[in-house]
Chains A and B, each alone.
Chain A
Amino acid sequence: MIAVTFAALFGHWWRNPLQLFTLLAGLALATALWSGVQAINAEARASYDAAAATLGEGQFDRLVRSDGQPIAQDTYIALRRAGWLVSPVIEGRVADARLIGLDPLSAPGGLTPVGLRNIGGLQDFIVTSGRIFAAPDVALDGAVSDPAIAPGTAIADMGTVQKLLDRPNELDALIVGPQQPLGQTSLDQIAPQLSRQVAQGGSDIGQLTDSFHLNLTAFGLLSFAVGIFIVHGAIGLAFEQRRATVRTLRALGVPLRLLVCLIGGELLGLALIAGAIGVGLGYLIAVFLLPDVAATLRGLYGAEVTGTLQLRPIWWATGMAIAVGGTGVAASTALWKLSRMPLLTGAQPRALAVIAGRGVKVQAAVSAGLLCIAFVLALTANGVVTGFVLLGALLIGAALGLPIVLRAVLGFAANCSHGVVSSWFWADTRQQLPGLSLALMALLLAMAANVGVSTMVSSFRLTFVAFLDQRLASELYVTAQSPEQAASLVDFVTPRVDVVLPIMSAQVKIAGRATDVFGARNHATYRDNWTFLTAGKTPWKDVHANVAILINEQLARGADLTVGDVVNVGEQPLTIAGIYGDYGNPIGQAIIAESLFQKLFPDVRPLRFGLRLPRKEVDELVKDLQSEVGFPTSSVINQAGIKAHSLAIFDRTFTVTTALNVLTLSVAGFAILMSLLTLTAMRVPQLAPAWAMGLTRAQLGRLELIRTVMLAVLTGAIALPLGLALAWVLLVVVNVAAFGWRLPMYLFPWDYAQLGVLAILAAGLAALWPALRLARTPPADLLKVFSNER
């Protein structure tokens, strides 16, 4: 019984291969976009984990010399003898690899890579002279490949690295263990030249790059939602067309439970096939995009990502799970209706308009409810989770409301039309609406996602450019290797430039938060270029009177500080005179006057300098710095070069989002194409009377094309405000909740116009083939409509 019933049910797909293709392709595309994005995220996160395990970056306090010079090995020995549980680190570059020297015996737990923690690995590491362990992407002669090591990194025993770098008895930092014995001799007494950098805790690289991944995840979700709309449409249509078969099967004695189970099993099988295809396609998308993602993260955030993709089982599992889950969501309504369908219900497929007519009130109510929830959350949401709930409610509410709005618009147009053909056109379009609703919802989501993300990205870029202008105001930046070299540099350039601006910083705790505090010279460069989110009347004047401090937005939001509040830097109380935007910085930052900085941190001597001079003199000064003072090219950076480099990195970041934009829009175009193709056969009985009464087949084809383009235009008109709302939520709610800073939102009408044209083009192209098919429908097929035997 099971076999014959299954054959009868599955035969539907055999007889309707287009529907089967729509279902499989929709689900595969949805899974592909989702799993592709997840693969990129998973790969990047795996790289961060390896980096954190190798370096312990952000996990432990570190001791470094305030002047940036190497630490003598004797200092390390003195500290250990005094009871300090510290572990040495040395770092350098060999053949494009980051080489790190560690002492695994004294390193705090969890610092060495996982692969080295077993006995054999540790013995090898210490005992085997010169043994280097490297990430798989590092090509170093004799190095042992270990996937647990961060990409681009190699590690070895301290002594080995000191030899390789030709830096005997030198260390770069000492990692301070989390547990220290009581009654230690103070650091000032043993090594006064060392300062302690507190761990950044939650502000490590993984959290910063989460900004990027959050955007990608939001995109993946939206793309998946677009795909699920396609699947929902295909399943709904297949169920509708199989109503008669289901009734017949039941009348012939097939139990309802068996039917539900068989259809569920059939969908599960199809979901697994489509899921496998989707995960494969997702892998290709990820392979295509990952080099850009890796370059972006390396450039923008300094995070190392391999740039190559590994097939991780969890990634396959989640891809298949999302495909099956998505099918379950898309099919749940249809299966529920089937299980409740009375045996004697009408056997013929009901007109889609009738089905939609019954559900329209429920749909309108759900849509209104979700939009109300979104409105309330827009006023109150202040977390990432509530931000995403707001996004979900807004997008689903708008998508469900789309057919209702379109119905009203088409009704209005029908009332206003006078000609016979135009009246028929509007009425017929209204009748077609239920069949096209899901595809139009998919288009709405895709366009809104495009508008939203492009607004966010472009706003980010505009702000970023302004931020670069503010931060890179000097024409030239020079880094000295030592305080002595810095002094000779200042002597050399002072008579040749307008001003020398030292860049000096120290790490302190302000309001309990790790903060980099900078000392700023009293000069117009800061006064003229620095823009504030909020500030007192004379922020710079107050700063240089040594009574005020400027802080970044992250510190202000994190510690709930505002202008006028008083904070302590060391023992010095200072009033907050201004709060400035500091995009992409994970931790707090503050600016005080140079004179106060020197008083509070007398050991810190600046090695970096900004030089202000006429632009035309920049090249000559760079040449002289190299020839007369012996500065290497790498130590002198032209401001224009930094800006161009930063912008190039930034633009590459969004190559990924642009690619996803195009893919999402393509999926929506595919949804329209498949809906129209599926509806073509059902259209013949509706178009035959119009043909019989004098409209030519070519006219009918043209009207089909115009109808689709017109519906796409109307959908686009709704997608624009929805996309802007999406951008607002991302910028004002999600970004602030996740990262502590808010980006201003700008509008880009030209971009939206381009997107609109692209979407209409996609819809027009999707409608072209079905329209041509209708225009070429043989008269015999149209005549069959009037046959008694049909």
Chain B
Amino acid sequence: MLLSARDVHKTYDTADGPFAVLRGVDLSLEGGQSLALTGESGSGKSTLLHLIGGLDVPDQGQITIDGADIAAMDDAGRAGLRRGTVGVVFQQFNLIPSLTIAANIAFQARLAGQYDATWVDALTDRLGLTSQVAKYPEQLSGGQQQRVAIARTLAPRPRLVLADEPTGNLDEDTAASVMDVMLSLVAETGAGLLMVTHSSALAARLDNRLHLRAGRIA
């Protein structure tokens, strides 16, 4: 099992008191499979994605990736997980503004010590970024920036790709084009894909779908 989440709980302190975002979520994902996570705003989708990505830790329950329990890892351990095993595509792209597009694409692979120039060139070409590599993120459109973020995520060939509304900031046509190339590349690498989305059409393109409602799987 690539990913397993069992009875995951997460509560945040708010101005109005504690707010339980996740109330016992269970899910699993095999390598090479894709899973869409849908739900209304505030249902806990992004929180669950952050917990699986090791960006935060659950209050209760267990999340394992390739059998390793995330909650048992320290900060450095979770950082190591994010470097090599898990790749995250953010809604806000989160490119590094001080690096060129080429350096941004290669960044995570170099960080993980898994840089493969042939693969990175192929990704750059497949995502239509070859003519943009010398530019900086601020010089690209939103769609182009998201393509760069996808290339960066896939460059180290992660075992698990997490995508948080990857097309949420893009228009319909651009979103469709970005999704085509992302799904195709993820399938090629054999990684598992967990995608948070509002779009039913997008969710329908993945192997499985889970719906979150008020912190629980509906």
Contacts and interface: CB of A to CB of B under 8 A. Distances in A.
Interface of A: 1, 4-5, 7-12, 14-15, 244-245, 247-257, 343-344, 347, 788-789
Given A343-B56, A344-B50, A11 B96 contact: yes
B94 A248 contact: yes
Contact of A255 (B76, B96, B98, B152): B76
Given A8-B96, A244-B94, A251-B82, A1 B113 contact: yes
Interface stretch (B84-92, B118-126, B186-194, B201-209): B84-92
Nearest to B109: A4
A347 B94 contact: yes
Contact of B56 (A10, A255, A344): A344
B80 interface: yes
B75 interface: yes
B112 interface: yes
Nearest to A252: B108
B197 to A, nearest CB: 19
B142 interface: yes
Contact of B98 (A11, A252, A256, A789): A11
Contacts of B152: 252
A255 B75 contact: yes
Interface of A is mostly: helix
Contacts of A14: 98
A6 to B, nearest CB: 11
A256 B107 CA distance: 17
B55 A251 contact: yes
Nearest to B153: A252
B98 A245 contact: yes
Interface in B58-111: 75-76, 79-84, 88, 90, 92, 94-99, 103, 107-108, 110-111
Nearest to A789: B142
Contacts of A257: 75-76
Contacts of A247: 94
Contact of A7 (B53, B56, B81, B99): B99
Contacts of B82: 251-253
A343 B99 CA distance: 21
Nearest to A248: B94
Nearest to B76: A255
Chain A CB count within 10 A is highest, among B79, B110, B111, B136, for: B79
Interface in B132-174: 136, 141-142, 152
Nearest to B54: A253
Contact of B79 (A8, A12, A15, A250): A250
Contacts of B110: 1, 4
A5 B55 contact: no
A780 to B, nearest CB: 14
Which 5 A-B pairs give the minimum distances between C-beta atoms? Answer: A11-B98, A253-B83, A253-B82, A248-B94, A255-B79
25 contacts: A1-B83, A4-B111, A11-B98, A11-B99, A12-B97, A14-B98, A15-B98, A244-B97, A247-B94, A248-B96, A252-B88, A252-B107, A252-B152, A253-B80, A253-B82, A253-B83, A254-B79, A254-B83, A254-B111, A255-B75, A255-B79, A343-B55, A344-B55, A344-B56, A789-B142
Nearest to B113: A1
A253 B50 CA distance: 13
B62 to A, nearest CB: 21
Given A9-B98, A245-B96, A252-B108, 19 more contacts: A1-B110, A4-B110, A8-B98, A11-B96, A15-B136, A244-B97, A245-B98, A247-B94, A248-B94, A250-B79, A251-B53, A251-B55, A252-B88, A253-B82, A253-B108, A253-B112, A254-B111, A256-B75, A257-B76
Given A4-B110, A244-B97, A245-B97, A251 B90 contact: yes
B138 to A, nearest CB: 9
Interface in B12-45: none
A253 B84 contact: yes
B95 A248 contact: yes
A343 B53 CA distance: 12
A789 B98 CA distance: 19
A248 B76 CA distance: 15
Given A253-B83, A253-B84, A789 B55 contact: no
A403 to B, nearest CB: 27
A247 B93 CA distance: 12
Chain B CB count within 10 A is highest, among A5, A8, A12, A254, for: A8
Contacts of B80: 253
Contacts of B88: 251-252
A249 B107 CA distance: 10
B44 to A, nearest CB: 14
Contacts of A244: 94, 97
Contacts of A344: 50, 55-56
B94 A253 contact: no
A249 B94 CA distance: 9
A12 B98 CA distance: 5
Contact of A251 (B75, B94, B142): B94
Nearest to B110: A4
Contacts of B107: 4, 8, 252
B84 to A, nearest CB: 7
A308 to B, nearest CB: 46
A23 to B, nearest CB: 15
A249 B55 contact: no
A651 to B, nearest CB: 53
A391 B114 CA distance: 58
A251 B112 CA distance: 13
A347 to B, nearest CB: 7
A603 B44 CA distance: 104
B105 to A, nearest CB: 12
B75 to A, nearest CB: 6
Nearest to B46: A344
Contacts of B113: 1
Nearest to B104: A8
Contacts of A245: 96-98
Contacts of B92: 347
Contacts of B79: 250, 253-256
Contacts of A15: 97-98, 136
Contacts of A250: 79
A163 to B, nearest CB: 76
A7 B94 contact: no
Contact of B111 (A1, A347, A788): A1
Chain B CB count within 10 A is highest, among A15, A245, A252, A254, for: A252
A302 B167 CA distance: 81
A347 B94 CA distance: 8
B69 to A, nearest CB: 18
A633 to B, nearest CB: 74
Contacts of A5: 111
A15 B99 CA distance: 9
B5 to A, nearest CB: 18
Contacts of A251: 53, 55, 82, 88, 90, 94
A347 B164 CA distance: 15
B164 to A, nearest CB: 11
Chain A CB count within 10 A is highest, among B84, B90, B107, for: B107
A252 B97 contact: no
A83 B80 CA distance: 86
A253 B95 contact: no
A253 B96 contact: no
B101 to A, nearest CB: 13
Contacts of A252: 82-83, 88, 107-108, 111, 152
B184 to A, nearest CB: 23
Contact of B141 (A8, A11, A789): A789
Contacts of B84: 253
A348 to B, nearest CB: 8
B112 to A, nearest CB: 7
Contacts of A11: 96, 98-99, 103
Contacts of B142: 788-789
Contacts of B99: 7-8, 11
A181 to B, nearest CB: 76
